[in-house]
Structure 1
Amino acid sequence: MYIVITVIAVVFTGSAAVTYLIGHDYPKTQADMKGIPRSWVPVLGGLLTAGTIGLLAGFAVPWLGKAAAAGLVLYFVGALIAHLRVGSRQLVGPAVFLVTEIAALVVALAR
């Protein structure tokens, strides 16, 4: 179960990281909507990339996977807060990511 959930989290987070790093319009419009400077978009993509790599590294170094999952949980809690702060009702996306990362953290801790 650990492997399946972690791989799903890696795919979700990795795809989001790529979207942020290639300069896709979606993260830019999200940043605009939340009042976040566009200059933060690559930084956020870097955090997602670091989390993705950390989840993968967790297969060999368990504490690193746990730390990455915990960091990603905090990242997506922040994303939900950013949406709520501006009154956005587009909560499904960040909620799905958050639940996925919580699941990855739970199975990593139970391992």
Structure 2
Amino acid sequence: MGAVFNGAAAVTYLIGHEYPTSQADMRGIPRKYVPVLGLLPAAGTVGLLAGLAVPLLGTLAASGLVLYFIGAIIAHLRVGSRDIVGGIVFLVTAAAALVLGLAYHGAV
């Protein structure tokens, strides 16, 4: 589930969809960074999928996604936006992938 969510988010950033661009504008993030911000969840998606074969990669990817979405929520709050439900959903999904991976494979 986490790979699907993050893969979809990455695609919206990488194809230049209006939503991430408008969100970046609202938060004062230069548009040239929007594709870079899309590469992070894309890398997380690849890492979660690779984690099916190499658990350490899944753990690292899930950890990175947790940090990414904490940063995204902070960026929203920093500019006074209270539109953080989406970020929280993604954060919970990444945290669930991390916790479930650690519970199943142990601390690798």
Q: Give, in whole Å, the separation in 1 of the partners of 2:17 and 2:88.
A: 21
Unaligned runs of 5+ in 2: none
Q: Give, in whole Å, the separation in 2 of the partners of 1:91 and 1:48.
A: 17
Q: Segments of 4+ in structure 1 off by > 6 A?
A: none
Q: Give, in whole Å, the separation in 2 of the partners of 1:105 and 1:35.
A: 30
Corresponding residue number in structure 2 for 1:3: none
TM-score scaled by structure 2? 0.95
Q: Give, in whole Å, the separation in 1 of the partners of 2:85 and 2:18.
A: 19
Q: Give, in whole Å, the separation in 2 of the partners of 1:79 and 1:24.
A: 18
How many residue pairs match? The answer is 104
C-alpha deviation, 1:89, in angstroms = 1.1
Q: Give, in whole Å, the separation in 2 of the partners of 1:109 and 1:37.
A: 36
Alignment map for 1:10-89 (pairs within 5 Å): 10-89=3-82
Q: Give, in whole Å, the separation in 1 of the partners of 2:4 and 2:58.
A: 15
Q: CA RMSD in A?
A: 0.5
